[in-house]
Structure 1
Amino acid sequence: MRLRLPEYFIRRHVYADVEGRAHIRPRTIYILPTAQGILFGAILFLMLLGSINYANNLGFMLTFLLAGLGVVAILHTWRNLVGLELVAGRNEPVFAGQEARFEIQLINHRESTRAGINIKLADGEPVACDLEGKSSEALTLAVQTHHRGYQPLGQFVLFTRYPMGLLHAWVYIDLDNRCLVCPAPGGRMPPAQVPDYRQCPKGDKGVGVDDFVGLRSYRVGDPIKHIHWKTLAREQGIQTKQFGGDRADRRWLDWDSLQGMDTEQRLSALCRGVLDACEKQHEYGLRLPGTEIKPNRGPVHRNNCLASLALFGESV
C-alpha cells in the first residue's frame, strides 16, 4: 500500500505552457516568515504578555495594531506574485567554459506596481527588479558551462519579501529553457595542402579576395584588418574595405583530416576552423561522420556548422 502525502506537503512547480509562458497561480505560492518576521512575532507576544500583566489598554491597542499590520502584510506579499507571467527569452549560443546567459521576461498585467521581485538559481545570486503597472522587464540568469551540447536552465525560484520584509513568498519555476553550448575552440586547423578556389558567379563585383572595390559601413563581425582607419581618423565613421574578383577562397573542414586526436579534440579543432574561416571571409564546408554541410559563408552557415559540432553524437 502506497502512502499518499497530503497535497500541502507536495512541492508544486509552475511549468511553461505550449507557448513557453508560465503563469503564477494562487495555489503555487509558498509563504513563511523571515528571521525579522519571527522576531516581530516574538516582540508582539512579549507586548501582549506585558499588556495582560499590567492591564494596559494602550499596550493592547498597540499590540493588536501591529499584529493587524502583520496580517495585512501576508496578503500584500502573496499578491505581489500572484498573476505574474514569465516568458523564456532568446539565448545566444556560447562556447564550453563560458557562462550561458538565460533571459527571463517578467510581465505585469496589473495596473499597480510590483516591487521587490527577485529570481535566482539554487546556487546563484538573486536578480531583482521593480515592475511598473502594465509593463515588462527582462532579467538574466547565468549558468557556468562545462560540456558541449544543450545546457538546461533548470528550476529557479521567483520570490519577494515586499512590503515589510517580514515574510518570504516564493514559487518554483521551470520554463524548460536551454542554451546551445559549442565546443571550446582548440588549436589552429592545419592549412590545406592545395588551395581550393571557385569561380565567383558575380564576377568582379562579388565578394572575393583579389581587388579592392570600395567601402561600406562597418558590421559587427567584420575582420579588424579590413577596417579603413583613414576614414575613422577623419571622424567619418567606421568603414570596412570590400574586395572583389572572379574567385574566392574555399576549403573543407574535414573530420578525417585530423588524425591522432580524440573526439572532443577534433571537434574543438573544427570549431576553431569555422571561426577562422568566418574571420577571413572564406567559403567553407564541414564534413563529419554521417554529416556534410556544403560550402557557404555568412552567419546562418556559421551557426549551422557550430550547432552540428555542438550536437555531434548526441540525440536532440
Structure 2
Amino acid sequence: MKSRIRALFRRRFNSWLDKRSPRTSEITLNQRRIFIIPSSAGLGFATMLLGLLLLAINYQNNLIFALCFWLFSIFLVAILHTYANLSGLLLRAGAAEPVFAGELASFHLHLEAGNRDRHRLSVGFPGQQLEICDINAETGAANVIIKYPTQRRGALRPGRMEVTSRYPLGILRCWSAPSLDWHCLVYPRPRKLRPLQNSADSGEGHIPDRSKDSDEFSGFSRYQAGQSPRRIFWKAYAKGQGLLVKQYEQSQADELILDWESLDGLDTEERLSTLCAWALDCEKNGLSYGLKLPSVSVAPATGAAQLAKVLRELAVY
C-alpha cells in the first residue's frame, strides 16, 4: 500500500514538474525551478533550537534566549545563501556519444555561473553517482560529464537530472530537477552467436586478410578521414607529397553482406547483437561490408562512416 501511494505521489509530482519545467535544450534556474528543504542536519539543528527555546522559557534565561535567536538568524541567512548558490545558474545540454548496450552513457553538461561563484554543486541523474563541481566567477563556466547506465539498444532519453547544493552550512538542501533535451544512441550489445561467413567462401568463420592487398591495384587518391591507415602510401608522404591512399578494384566476391536472413533460429535481439559483432570484425579487418535488414539495406563500403551508419541502423531497428 505504501509503495502504491509513493508511486502515485511520484507520478503526480513529475506531472506537475513537466508543466512547471518542460524539456528544453538549456535552462536557467530561478525561483520557479528551485526548491529548498531542511537536510537531516537541518532537522537536527531545528530540534536543537526548539530545545533551547523551551529551556529559555522554562528558566527565563536571557542568555539562552539570545543564543536561540542568534542561531535562528543564522538559519534564515543560510536560506538566502543556499538559494543564491543555485539561482541564475544556466545549464545547457551538450553532446552524448553513442555507446553499446550495457555501457555507461556520457552526457556532457555545460554550466554557466553568471557573475558569482558557485560552490559544491552536485549534478547527476537520480539514483546515480553525482558529480561535484565548483565554478569560479572569473572563469564563468564549467563542463561536467555525467554518467547514465544503458540496458537496451535504441534512442536513450535519460529524463530529469538533479542539481543539488547544501552550501554553506549543510543544514539546507537546495535542489532543482531540470529536464534537458538529451538523447544518446545505444548500439546493440555485440555478441557473436554465429561465425561470420564470407560470401566468397563456403566455409564459416573465414575473414579475408585485407592486409595482403590481393585485389587489383588501380591508382592513388588523396587520403580522407576514416580510411584505413594500411592503405596510405607512406613513401610519398616521406617525400612531402602529402597523404596518398592506394586504390584497389575490389572483386564483388570480397564484399560481405551482413544478412538478417542468415541468422535463422535467433530472436530479434540476438540477431542484432550478432550483426553488430560482425560489423565490428569487418571494420577491424578493413573489409568492405554492407547490411541487409528486413526494412532497410546499406550498400557495401569501408571506413568509420560506414561502421557508424550500420550500427545506427541496428540500434534503431
TM-score, length-scaled by structure 2? 0.77
Confirm or deny that 1:23 pairs with 2:25.
Answer: no
SS in 1 for 2:143: strand
Task: For 1:90 and 1:44, locate their aligned partners in 2 and report how far apart those are by CA, in whole Å.
Answer: 47
Q: How does 1:89-100 map to 2 (within 5 A)?
A: 89-100=94-105
Relative distance call for 1:147 and 1:9 in structure 2 (3 A) is closer
SS at match of 1:26: coil
Question: Which of 280, 289, 294 is 2:285 aligned to?
Answer: 280
Bigger shift: 93-102 or 208-217? Answer: 208-217
- List alignment gaps of at least 5 residues for structure 2: 1-12, 202-207, 238-243
| Higher strand content, 1 or 2 | 1
For residue 58 of structure 2, what is the aligned residue in structure 1? 53
Identify if the C-alpha distance between structure 1 residues 210 and 132 changes in structure 2 by more than 3 Å, giving closer, same or farther: closer
Paired position in structure 1 for 2:121: 117
Would the aligned equivalents of 1:117 and 1:129 in 2 still touch at CA under 8 Å?
A: yes
CA separation of 1:96/1:209 partners in 2, compared to 1, >3 Å: closer, same or farther?
Answer: closer
Tell me which residue corresponds to 2:135. 131
Query: Where does residue 156 of structure 2 map in the other structure?
Result: 151
Which of 71, 76, 79 does residue 76 from structure 2 map onto? 71
CA contact (8 A) 1:92 1:180 kept: yes
**Bigger fraction of residues in helix:** 2
SS in 2 for 1:175: coil
- Take 1:84 and 1:266, find their aligned partners in 2: how far apart are those partners? 46
In the alignment, structure 1 residue 102 sits paired with structure 2 residue 107: yes
Q: Secondary structure at the match of 2:257?
A: strand
Q: What is the number of residues matched between the two proteins?
A: 279
**Following TM superposition, by how much is the alpha carbon of 1:40 offset from its aligned partner in structure 2, in angstroms?**
1.2
Residues 211 and 24 of structure 1, relative CA distance in 2, 3 Å threshold: closer
Deviations 1:294-315 (A, max 9, x none): 2222222211110001111xxx
The structural deviation recorded for 1:115 is 0.5
Q: Secondary structure at the match of 1:128?
A: strand
SS at match of 1:119: strand
Structure 1 unaligned spans of 5+: 1-7, 218-241
Query: Could you tell me whether the CA contact under 8 Å between 1:159 and 1:170 is conserved in 2?
Result: yes
Cα–Cα, structure 1 residues 282 and 215, in superposed 2: closer, same or farther, change >3 Å?
farther
Equivalent residue number for residue 234 of structure 2: 214
Q: Deviations over 1:80-134 (max 9, x none)?
A: 111111112211111112222222222211x221111112322222221111115
Match of 1:189 in 2: 196
Q: 1:215 to 1:272 in 2, by over 3 A?
A: farther
1:280 to 1:205, Cα distance in 2 relative to 1, 3 A: farther
Amino acid at match of 1:189: L
Secondary structure, counterpart of 1:28 in structure 2: coil
Give distance in 1, aligned partners of 2:256 and 2:47: 75
CA–CA separation in structure 2 for the residues paired with 1:128 and 1:253: 45
**Aligned partner letter, 2:169:** M
Q: 1:125 to 1:177 in 2, by over 3 A?
A: same
Q: Report the AA paired with residue 302 of structure 2.
A: R
Percent identity between the two aligned chains: 32
The one-letter amino acid of 1:108's match is A
Write the letter of the residue equivalent to 2:173: H
Please name the residue that 1:247 is paired with. 249
8 Å Cα contact 2:162/2:177 also seen in 1: yes
Report the Cα distance in structure 2 between the residues aligned to 1:263 and 1:116, rounded to whole angstroms: 46
Cα deviation 1:123-151 (Å, max 9, x = unaligned): 22222111111522222332222221112
Structure 2 residue 182 is the aligned partner of structure 1 residue 162: no
Amino acid aligned to 2:171: L
